[in-house]
Amino acid sequence: MIVPFCRPDITLDEAVAALNTLQSGWLTSGPQVEQFEQALAERTHCSHAVVVNSCTSALILAIKAQNITGEVILPSFTFAATANAVVLAGATPIFADILPDTYNIDPDHILSLITSRTEAILPVHFAGQCCQMERIQEMANEHHLAIIEDCAEALGASYHDHPAGSFGTGCFSFFPTKTITTGEGGAITTNDSALATRCRLLRAHGVAKDNWRRSTIEPGYNFRLSDILASIGLVQLSRLDTMNAARKKAARYYNISLPGHLGLPIPSLHCDHVYQMYALTLPHRDRFVDSLRSLGVEASAHFDPPVHLHHYYQSRYPSPPLPVTEETSRNIATLPIFPSITQEELDIVVNAIHRISKELR
């Protein structure tokens, strides 16, 4: 039996919603997109949500729409898309180290990196747990910096009861591994009406509509989401709490069942961790992951190498060593976790880890 790393939780309701949209004749952005945006804004306690075709597109628009062209501080411990969006939007990435317990960006290191060229802080909420947003907000306010949250892994998570995506400009992903999915898709959340308006303009070629007349206000993109995918997203969003509860239940089972010498995830105070991924750290990580895969458990490693050690970023945006990031990337492993994971599958993972741990110790 193979235990997959991820299995999207799609029900008949999503299929019916997509079919109804197909039969409606409105396939591109339309009424389903508008309803999805309203539901996302309500869910994140924001005034506006703008849905797009990926979180990468959301990040690009969040930076472009705020005219950010200077330095953006972000963690290197993230998927390359976060840094790619900074570069593609015309800004400069400055890489910060992470905390050794949560693997989220280190606020103290952010503070040391702020210069007269800094224009934004881009925290990434790793694996479903929010960064220390209170401190990050204090720094941003003091230095007049924008906050752009990479919430790709954190829809439904919160910090001090404030939802991820409500601390600045939030950027979400609806990729199949995330807490909800539309196959491909993303969103921007904000309380800034002007920012939301400009994001909507830029996602659709920069064209303003005046009844049947269309005029290009500025060069834009085709970052639109279709009504077909939005209809799936609406159903998924209505099931978010149930799916996140299932993730948390699986994480609790891992926490009490896995060997104590492994570096298991540590929930932070004041955070509602939704366990989009279940990450642990251990020596001999590569042998561990290879051994799990040989036993039918599709484990992985997020993120190795960290972005500042990718060839492009080493040559174009060289960074000083980031010791916690580099050590974490060498030692981290991510286990299967998804809403529909069964007890049998969890037991297969746990038993395989106990077996491998004895062999590696």
Same domain, 232 and 247: no
The dihedrals phi and psi of 98, each to the nearest 5 degrees, come to: -120, 170
Same domain, 218 and 248: no
CATH number at 169 reads 3.40.640.10
Same domain, 213 and 352: no
Confidence category of residue 211, pLDDT binned at 50, 70, 90: low
For 339, half-sphere exposure in the C-beta direction (CA atoms, 13 angstrom radius) is: 19
Confidence category of residue 269, pLDDT binned at 50, 70, 90: confident
Q: Record the pTM.
A: 0.97
Cα–Cα distance for residue pair 181/233, rounded to 1 Å: 6
- Please, what's the b/e burial string for 194-222 (b: 16 or more CB within 10 A of its CB; e: otherwise)? ebbebbbbbbbbeeeeeeeeeeeeeebbe
Q: Quote the domain boundaries for residue 247.
A: 240-360
In a domain? residue 6:
no
Active site residue ranges: 178
In percent, the amount of the chain with pLDDT more than 90 equals: 93
In a domain? residue 7:
no
* Residues 299-309 pLDDT 10s: 999 999 999 99
The last residue of a domain, from among 238, 261, 296:
238
Q: Which amino acid is at 223?
A: F
* Residues 129-167 pLDDT 10s: 999 999 999 999 999 999 999 999 999 999 999 999 999
Residue 134's pLDDT is 96
Q: How many domains does the chain have?
A: 2
Same domain, 269 and 128: no
DSSP E strands, the chain:
48-52, 71-75, 92-96, 118-121, 146-150, 158-159, 162-163, 169-173, 186-190, 207-210, 213-216, 271-272, 278-281, 332-335
Same domain, 201 and 183: yes
In a domain? residue 3:
no
CATH number at 249 reads 3.90.1150.10
What are the Cα distances from residue 222, in Å, to 178, 188, 233, 265? Answer: 23, 15, 19, 38
* Residues 100-121 pLDDT 10s: 999 999 999 999 999 999 999 9
